Amino acid sequence: MTADHSFLDLVLGASFIVQLVMLLLLAASVASWAIILRKRRVLREAQQGADGFEASFWSGGDLTSIYRDVTQGGAAATDMAALFEAGFREFRRLVQQQGISPEQVLEGCHRAMRVAQMRETDRLERNLATLATIGSTSPYVGLFGTVWGIMNSFRAIGTVQSATLAMVAPGISEALIATAMGLFAAIPAVIAYNRYADQVTRLEVRFDTFTEEFAAILLRHAHAGRAAAGGGRA
């Protein structure tokens, strides 16, 4: 309890600038943990959604049935299902038009899936830049508070004829608290940023792989549809 009271006394007794630095670092730490917890849930759901959709897609089901399952319920598809929905919706639209080659159909589907992938990637990467900013700037903000506090301590020494350690220790201690708070805010943010950026990169690779594989499937369907239409006219 004594240590807690002494810590609080140091914070309350700090100069206004050092207190402002501590307040900023506390706000940065709270914001960082809010982003970390929310991003952890979003990325976990994205990975689980990609696993579930891939299992359903590669089980050999009909594409139309999968599209119906994805679009039913009214909620917008996310993650890998969003790529499938965009690509297959564009495929169904283009194959109904006359005079479009299978390669043009593929190009349109590929473009639609790329746009959907960019949206999903942007959603997954949202607020990661904030984590990176907190992780990179918090130690320097804390260091500024430390330098300011130590500067005030040495200024106080200059006003007295004989200085003792007891006189400067509180000022230096309160200054070092700012550095500690800067590290407390920065370390979790840096760890979380590196971890989540790696997970987003892995999901992007899965999205790229699925886009190419699904595009090849759609190209085969487009060729088969054109061949069937040609046979019917003959």
* Rounded percentage of the chain residues whose pLDDT exceeds 90: 48
pTM beyond cutoff 0.75: yes
Burial-class residue 234 by CB neighbours within 10 Å (0-12, 13-18, 19+). Answer: exposed
Treating both helix axes as pointing N-terminal to C-terminal, what angle do 102-125 and 79-95 enclose, rounded to 10 degrees?
160
* Rounded percentage of the chain residues whose pLDDT exceeds 70: 82
Task: Give residue limits of the domains in the chain.
Answer: 17-68+77-149+179-233
Report yes or no: 102 and 222 within 8 Å, Cβ to Cβ.
Answer: yes
Q: Quote the CA–CA distance of 157 and 160 in Å, as a whole number.
A: 6
So what's the pLDDT on residue 174? Answer: 75
Among candidate residues 87, 53, 46, the one with its CA nearest the CA of residue 70 = 53
What mean pLDDT do residues 144-164 have? 72
What mean pLDDT do residues 96-109 have? 86
Report yes or no: 19 and 172 within 8 Å, Cβ to Cβ.
Answer: no
Burial-class residue 30 by CB neighbours within 10 Å (0-12, 13-18, 19+). Answer: exposed
So what's the pLDDT on residue 187? Answer: 95
Q: Quote the CA–CA distance of 19 and 29 in Å, as a whole number.
A: 15
More confidently predicted of 51 and 228 = 51
**pLDDT tens-digit map of 183-228:** 999 999 999 999 999 999 999 999 999 999 999 999 888 877 665 5
So what's the pLDDT on residue 229? Answer: 54
So what's the pLDDT on residue 1? Answer: 38
More confidently predicted of 183 and 230 = 183
More confidently predicted of 163 and 217 = 217
So what's the pLDDT on residue 159? Answer: 63
- The pLDDT-based confidence of 61 (bands split at 50, 70, 90) is confident
